[in-house]
A = this chain, B = another copy of it.
């Protein structure tokens, strides 16, 4: 029997317990042994839960129980989740988690610690919820040099943008509705400002390139400034505005960023709507592959956490990939990036013609002129835009 402990009995933690119960037989078949929840750590008691008798309040009980070989950290937040994970790994217990904050901030340290203690640290659920993406990226695409990853990594913002696109709602109205439906939190900053998506693209980039960039070093732009006019202009030109986390190999250096981007209708990511997530990976042999599914929610997230438990329980001897910390020299300068841009300006077409010369006009109404630039280096674009009264500027994917 494989004994595990669940840290935190919130949405994800209780989902993990539920999936382990609901699919007990299937899991047993995969592992070749029974997976048993021995402890659940939480500050609260849950007298009405079928797991009531598993609840403990002192982490040391778990740490000191040699029968517990796997810890499922489902607490969220950096502390004490990181510290608890660290302590478990030091005891040779493997750790699985859905906690993107810990993985994005401290993944390199925890992977190292896992290797040093013959344990494993897995976090499939930290990106894309239940969508299998981290493991396929690290295994099925192992024969590829990864050129680029583009992902819709946050369901809340994708829901809000879909409401803006399909129903012409403003950001403010769509956000309020998302909060009412429980898709957005009372304080929605981490979602709408791209912080959550940023952590996830850092994790994807680390798997693809072997180096973990700290989220604080990633240019991150959210969706709170997206105007309905931009959504409409984009739609008329054949684009959906999506919050895209991007990790790109630029001449051997990593370019990582999060920003709302115009995704052409010919790209399937433009069709990934509502709370769904989608990750598109381009490898030098496989070309584009896309993974789509529910990026959040109790059961999808628990599905991925339990898959990690199954993986460890069935093959505890496997080694994890190791990550280095990304140094300044590993990172490409954003100013060097070449792309096309959507620009909306108050300055009018004549001014645009004078500054840009060539461009593709999109719309000219209500004193706003929208256009798409030719391919241009970001540094050069910024210089040109200084000469115009710019309302919006968004990169084209």
Please report A residues at the B interface, Cβ cutoff 8 Å: 15, 19-20, 22-23, 26-27, 29-30, 124, 130-132, 135-136, 139-145, 210, 268, 271-272, 283-294, 297, 299-300, 302-304, 306-307, 309-311, 315, 317-318
Contacts and interface: CB of A to CB of B under 8 A. Distances in A.
- Name which of A286, A290, A291, A306 has the most chain B CB atoms within 10 A of its CB: A286
B293 A293 contact: no
A199 B126 CA distance: 34
B141 A289 contact: no
What are the 8 closest A-B residue pairs judged by CB atoms, nearest first? A132-B140, A143-B306, A289-B293, A132-B136, A130-B286, A285-B303, A286-B303, A290-B292
16 contacts: A27-B142, A135-B139, A136-B140, A139-B307, A141-B303, A142-B310, A143-B306, A143-B309, A268-B292, A271-B271, A283-B303, A285-B299, A285-B306, A289-B294, A315-B315, A315-B318
B310 A287 contact: no
Given A15-B285, A285-B302, A286-B304, 10 more contacts: A22-B284, A23-B145, A130-B285, A130-B287, A132-B136, A135-B136, A139-B311, A143-B306, A286-B293, A290-B290
B286 A289 contact: no
A294 B289 CA distance: 7
Contacts of A318: 315
Nearest to A30: B142
A307 B142 contact: yes
A26 B145 contact: yes
Counted per complex, copies of this chain come to: 2
B135 A140 contact: yes
B292 A143 contact: no
Contacts of A283: 130, 303
A318 B315 CA distance: 8
A19 B144 CA distance: 8
A315 B319 CA distance: 9
Nearest to A321: B30
Given A19-B143, A145-B26, A303-B143, A289 B287 contact: no
Contacts of A27: 142-143
B140 A307 contact: yes
A141 B27 CA distance: 10
Contacts of A315: 315, 318
